Amino acid sequence: MSRLEELMEKQRALEATTAALPADELTLAQQVIDNIRKVEDVDAQDSALRDTANTEVSRLAYDVYRPKIELLEHERDDRIEKVERERDDARDEKQKEKEALQVVVDQARRIIEFLRVDDTRNLAVVDDDVKVYRDREKENLGYLFDDAWLGIKLYIVGNAKPKNRLSLVAIGQCLFGDRLLKLHSGYGADLNYHHHASLLVSIRDAPSIADHLAWLDDSRRQKLIVELTGDYEKVKAEYLDVLAAYERHDFEELMTDQCECGYFYTILDNISRRDESITCPRCQHLMAKGTTMKEK
């Protein structure tokens, strides 16, 4: 029998003895004294009972079950960590597998983008299309760089500044779109160009045309060409390699829409599919669906 059970048994015996004692054999004063003593005994037993119970609770909580709980928690954490590690390793492997497969897809997407280049587009920067604000000055300095697929012209145009009132501006047109070649650009210039420019950047401000011309010596021109053309030569070489190795019909199985002008969409394009035909972004004519159109 445990200590707790012994105390509870004594409590029950005391209660039985108290109930059996005839109250009429004692005077009221004696009953008071006797009851006070018994209350003290009951309080002492209750306190001992609570102390024993608390001790047992503490023993169960800290001595018996805490080690078991800690072992279970460690086992749980180890198993969770193992599952998470295996999950992350598997995810990394799948990601590597996807990336390896995506290399071919991305390569094909870039080749297709080269094949969609419109090599008939006029890249000339027309002087009449360069409009300055409020009839300010405009000086055409000619081409800084002029190649088959990229032309960059320099202009000196008036701005709103009180002292350095003239800006040296570069305007460029490139055959390759932003997906193939992102040309250098800076803050806006005080002019309006009537076409979408591949490059439009203000280079510097000065008080006079003579100051700009003196600054723009041969070494500065070469430095500007390097800065403004960026990866153009590399992309141009890549473009020529693609034209030598591939043609549109090599990707007919991927085509979803084709136009008579030569433009086409493939399954790699994020085009919202609709029942009606799609308008060609190059010539604005309706495109034929599927791969049945013959190349012209």
Q: At what angle do helices 28-58 and 3-20 cross, to 10 degrees?
A: 160
Q: Shortest CA distance to 121 belongs to which of 153, 148, 143?
A: 148
Tokens of 64: 């018996």
* 247: three-class secondary structure by DSSP: coil
3-state secondary structure 65-109: HHHHHHHHHHHHHHHHHHHHHHHHHHHHHHHHHHHHHHHHHHHHH
The sign of the CA dihedral 245, 249, 251, 253 is negative
288-289: strand order across its sheet: 264-266, 255-258, 288-289
Looking at the chain, list the stretches that DSSP marks H as alpha helix, in order from N- to C-terminal side.
3-20, 28-58, 66-115, 209-215, 218-229, 232-245
Going residue by residue through the chain, which has 296 residues, state the pLDDT in tens, using 9 for 90 and above.
666 677 667 667 766 655 555 556 788 888 889 999 999 999 999 999 999 999 999 999 999 999 999 999 999 999 999 999 999 999 999 999 999 999 999 999 999 999 999 999 889 998 888 888 888 899 999 999 999 999 999 999 999 899 999 999 999 999 998 889 999 776 567 788 877 889 999 999 999 999 999 999 999 999 999 999 999 999 999 999 999 999 999 999 999 999 999 999 999 998 766 667 889 999 999 999 875 444 43
CA distance 215 to 222: 12
Q: What is the pLDDT of residue 294?
A: 41
* 285: three-class secondary structure by DSSP: coil
Q: What is the pLDDT of residue 259?
A: 93
Tell me how crowded residue 150 is: count the other CB atoms within 10 A of its CB: 24
CA dihedral 58, 64, 67, 70 (to 10 degrees): -70
Q: Which amino acid makes up residue 58?
A: S
How is residue 250 annotated by DSSP? G
CA distance 91 to 172: 45
Half-sphere exposure of 46 (CA within 13 A, CB side): 7
Question: Which residues are CB-neighbours of 263 under 8 A, at least 6 positions away?
Answer: 116, 118, 280, 281, 282, 283, 287
- The pTM of the whole model exceeds 0.85: no
Q: What is the pLDDT of residue 134?
A: 80
CA distance 190 to 159: 6
